[in-house]
A and B are shown apart, each in its own frame.
Chain A
Amino acid sequence: MSESPRVNTVVINGTPVSALEDETVLDVAREHDIFIPTLCHLDGLSEAGSCRLCLVEVKGYSRPLPACVTRVAEGMEVNTESEALAEYRRTILEMLFVEGNHICAVCVANGHCELQRLAIKLGLDHLTMPYRYSRRPLDASHERFLVDRNRCVLCTRCVRVCDEVEGMHNWDVMGRGIRAGVVSDLDMPWGTTDYCTKCGKCVQVCPTGALIEKGRSVGEMVKRREPVLHVAETR
């Protein structure tokens, strides 16, 4: 008989809730309909903890912790909303917006974009930082898909889904800092790689219009995440 996981009591925003010991703060918050913004998290994939939008305050820690990779502990006191957190989240979003090319009006993912949705939800209605007008390479060599790195927010969902669900690991992140970007098969044109199975999972999980199906016009790129979650769950 396997031991059942211990149940911990944690306090989220002043309300005591019970949580299994292997759950993350984000899992518990979602179960209790407490909103925490996320970008790199996707059900069915491993956690990256890199987008820094799910930061929450935990009593006893001087700096905010990412909810998606923080496991609950007995007596933990979590605060998901504060003025400082809202400021951090907005600034991080703003940096993502000015770093790439996120002009919603001409984007295929307009209306179906998680970055856009978060900006609306977090009240980011204008930018105070100067645009960088990035000109990162675009790869249209694939017969069905296209990658526009200017719209990429480096959430690494495509990297993880290709590695963990499809099992091919075609995608990876290359470069550092402002020069970082996703690359196919050690920076070869996507259409020439031997690893891509053309399954399109990377396209479906991409939160923005960075990975898209060819032939879609403005606002037409609707992403379907459920099949990926289904495959991951039925493993």
Chain B
Amino acid sequence: MNDLALLERLCNVVRRTSLCGLGQSAPNPILSTLRYFRDEYVAHIESKTCQAHVCPTENTENTENAASAMQEVAV
């Protein structure tokens, strides 16, 4: 969880202090997702699950759930 704070701090510093426009805007997507989807970041760290079912590193049980969910959707 320390990493989240570090990530946020890093993003803010890079955004505020960069010389070029790329550096000033590159951290914005991360800051936005941290603001609106922080619970998903936390879920990845704490329960090693991916709420959006898109992570390849997710454990198999959840992948199977995701696969069946996908099938249901497809049907």
Which residue numbers of A lie inside 8 Å of B, CB to CB?
49-50, 52, 55, 63-64, 66, 87-88, 91-92, 95, 128-129
Asked if residues A49 and B19 are in contact (CB atoms below 8 Å), the reply is: yes
B43 at the interface (CB under 8 A from A): no
Q: How far is the CA of A52 from the CA of B6 in the complex (A)?
A: 19
Specify which chain B residues have a CB less than 8 angstroms from the CB of A129 in the assembled complex.
6, 10
A12 smallest CB distance to B (angstroms)? 20
**Interface positions of B from 1 to 29, Cβ below 8 Å from A:** 2, 6, 9-10, 13, 16-19, 24
Asked if residues A91 and B19 are in contact (CB atoms below 8 Å), the reply is: no
Residues of chain B at interface, number, CB under 8 A: 10
Asked if residues A64 and B6 are in contact (CB atoms below 8 Å), the reply is: no
Specify which chain A residues have a CB less than 8 angstroms from the CB of B18 in the assembled complex.
52
Asked if residues A64 and B19 are in contact (CB atoms below 8 Å), the reply is: no
Q: How far is the CA of A129 from the CA of B14 in the complex (A)?
A: 14
- Could you pull out 22 A-B pairs where Cβ atoms are within 8 angstroms? A49-B19, A50-B19, A52-B18, A52-B19, A55-B17, A63-B16, A63-B17, A63-B24, A64-B16, A64-B17, A87-B9, A87-B13, A88-B16, A88-B17, A91-B9, A91-B13, A92-B13, A92-B17, A95-B10, A128-B6, A129-B6, A129-B10
Specify which chain B residues have a CB less than 8 angstroms from the CB of A55 in the assembled complex.
17
Top 8 A-B residue pairs of the complex, sorted by shortest distance between their CB atoms: A91-B13, A52-B17, A88-B17, A88-B13, A63-B16, A55-B17, A128-B6, A50-B19
Q: How far is the CA of A18 from the CA of B55 in the complex (A)?
A: 59
A8 smallest CB distance to B (angstroms)? 25
A82 smallest CB distance to B (angstroms)? 12
Among B6, B10, B17: residue with most chain A CB under 10 A: B17
Specify which chain A residues have a CB less than 8 angstroms from the CB of B17 in the assembled complex.
52, 55, 63-64, 88, 92
Q: How far is the CA of A128 from the CA of B8 in the complex (A)?
A: 13
Specify which chain B residues have a CB less than 8 angstroms from the CB of A50 in the assembled complex.
19
